Amino acid sequence: MIRAWQRALRLLNMTPEAERVEDVWDMAVFGYTGHISFAPVLQEPLREAMKIWVYDDLPRRRNKNAVQHARTIIAAVGMLSESLRLQREDGGAEPAAWGRGDIVAFTPTTGATSWPPGTTPTTPAPAPDASAARPSASTARHSRATPRL
Judge whether 56 lies within some domain: yes
Q: What is the mean pLDDT of residues 67-92?
A: 93
Residues 6+ apart with CB under 8 A from 85: 42, 43, 91, 92
Q: What is the mean pLDDT of residues 2-16?
A: 81
pLDDT at 140 over 60: no
Judge whether 146 lies within some domain: no
Helix 100-114 to helix 66-87 angle (10° resolution) is 120
**What dihedral angle (degrees, nearest 10) is formed by the CA atoms of 19, 21, 25, 26?**
-20
Residues of the domain holding 82: 2-114
Judge whether 130 lies within some domain: no
Judge whether 131 lies within some domain: no
Q: What is the mean pLDDT of residues 16-35?
A: 91
Residue 44: its pLDDT value, please?
95
Judge whether 95 lies within some domain: yes
Judge whether 126 lies within some domain: no
pLDDT at 147 over 60: no
Residue 8: its pLDDT value, please?
78
Q: How many structural domains does the chain have?
A: 1
Judge whether 138 lies within some domain: no
